Amino acid sequence: MRTTLPSKFLKSTAIGAALSISCLTPQYSYANESDGITAPKPITVAVTKVKDRSGAPWWRPSFEEALKEILSTELSSAGHFIVLERDEEALEDIQKEQTMSWGWWPFGGEKGNKLNQAQYIIRASLSDYAEVSDEGGQQSVGFGGFAVGGGKSTKEFYVSFDLKVINTKTGTIAYSRSIEGKAKNVTKSNAFSGNVRGFSFGESKQKSTRTPTKKAVRDAMIETASYLDCVLYLKDECIAEFKAKDAKRKSNSSLDMF
């Protein structure tokens, strides 16, 4: 004998099954509540110490950690990155803390390693630097035993960093770029002198607007963070802007050779 189930029973059973499946399936939402647009997940990165490959005379060993901290801070403040600590001392402290939290575990594996894995390793190194001076010459005007003069000298600082972004899954270089930083020192001088009946007198003043080398270095680190935010997270019209900057840099480099 064939039994036909009521349509109301079939409908309620189908709804129940659908609800059960939806409960078992993980639901992920990264929507921006303000405009309803889904935002990408933050990118997990690890920043290594910044090395000197140029032999710059002003470089100090402490700069390696200091520049790493600047770059890490800039990336964190962008709000699009999870920056992992990969300093040897910090890693040792983290592992000790984790050991105390779960006890001794001799087999490693998931229980023995709770550290997050970086998607990308950020590696930067100083590849070039230059200092260019322009004295500009002195100018003076004299009349009736009196003279007024002045001059300006300029010193420009230039640094270039090689940046490599390494994909940890494949071990390949996902992105690479040369990042530049520039700074300028301007010194202005004014002088006044005179001679009246054999009595000479004069006065000179010098004013300097200082922007030391470290400003050029810091500007390069900030530009590096902006580039990483662009190619790893934003991936919008900023890519074209950075391509235009790179084309201009290469053009200027070619002209400097002649």
Query: What is the tens place of the pLDDT at every residue in 34-85?
Result: 555 677 899 999 999 999 999 999 999 999 999 999 999 999 999 999 999 8
3-state secondary structure 175-240: EEEEEEEEEEEEEEEEEEEEEECCEEEEEEEEEEECCCHHHHHHHHHHHHHHHHHHHHHHCCCHHH
> Can you tell me whether residue 85 is helix, strand or coil?
coil
CB atoms within 10 A of CB 188: 15
Of 14-18, 41-45, 128-132, 183-187, the range with the lowest mean pLDDT is: 14-18
CA distance 206 to 26: 69
**pTM confidence score:** 0.68
What type of residue is 81? F
Bridge partner list, 117 = none
Tokens of 47: 């920043």
Does residue 150 or residue 213 have the better pLDDT? 213
Rounded distance, CA 181 to CA 241, Å?
17
H helices within the chain, ranges in order?
7-24, 62-78, 88-102, 109-112, 213-228, 238-256
Residue 19 tokens, joined? 């609800």
DSSP 54: S
Domain edges within the chain? 43-256
Helix (H) or strand (E) holding 128: strand 120-134
pLDDT tens string 91-126: 666 666 666 555 554 555 445 555 688 999 999 999
d(CA 203, CA 12): 99
CB 147 within 8 A of CB 138: no
From CA 90, how far away is CA 166, in angstroms rounded? Answer: 22
pLDDT confidence bin for 14, thresholds 50/70/90: very low
Supply the CATH classification number for the domain 43-256. 3.40.50
Instruction: Report yes or no: 229 and 80 within 8 Å, Cβ to Cβ.
Output: yes
Contact yes or no for 227/165 (Cβ under 8 A): no
